[in-house]
Amino acid sequence: MVSEPGAAPLVNLFTQASQDMDVYLSTIFQAISVSCDNYLRIHDDTLVKDLASADLATKKNLENLVKFAKGLLKQPVSLVNLDNGISEPVNRGTNEEALRR
């Protein structure tokens, strides 16, 4: 994996492992016929620079992380397509609505 200038390689490593785990868990849930309604994982790999820093706990950065997380809650629920590994929106409302359910 090649790092871009200003990137956080350690965060990139965790992000990739996290994405892989999402595919594995989706596969297991489908294989044992467990309803996907019982599994919700909100994931986004677009954090960059300060937001992606694992050790930048400034007030400003934490406030920006909260704003980012609130934005994730407004996005539609998505599931990993097991054929291509890509997260695709499904007709189940927003992440916030799914958490409330």
Question: What token pair was written down for 51?
Answer: 């937001």
**pLDDT confidence of residue 95:** 94
Identify residue 91 by its one-letter amino acid code: N
Read off the pLDDT of each residue in 20-45 and give the average, rounded to a whole number: 73
| Rg (the chain; Cα; Å) | 15
Average pLDDT across the chain, whole number: 80
Lowest mean pLDDT among 12-16, 27-31, 47-51, 58-62: 12-16
**Each residue's pLDDT tens digit, 58-87:** 999 999 999 999 999 999 998 777 788 778
> How far is the C-alpha of 6 from the C-alpha of 50, rounded, in Å?
9
Split at pLDDT 50, 70, 90, the class of 27 is: confident
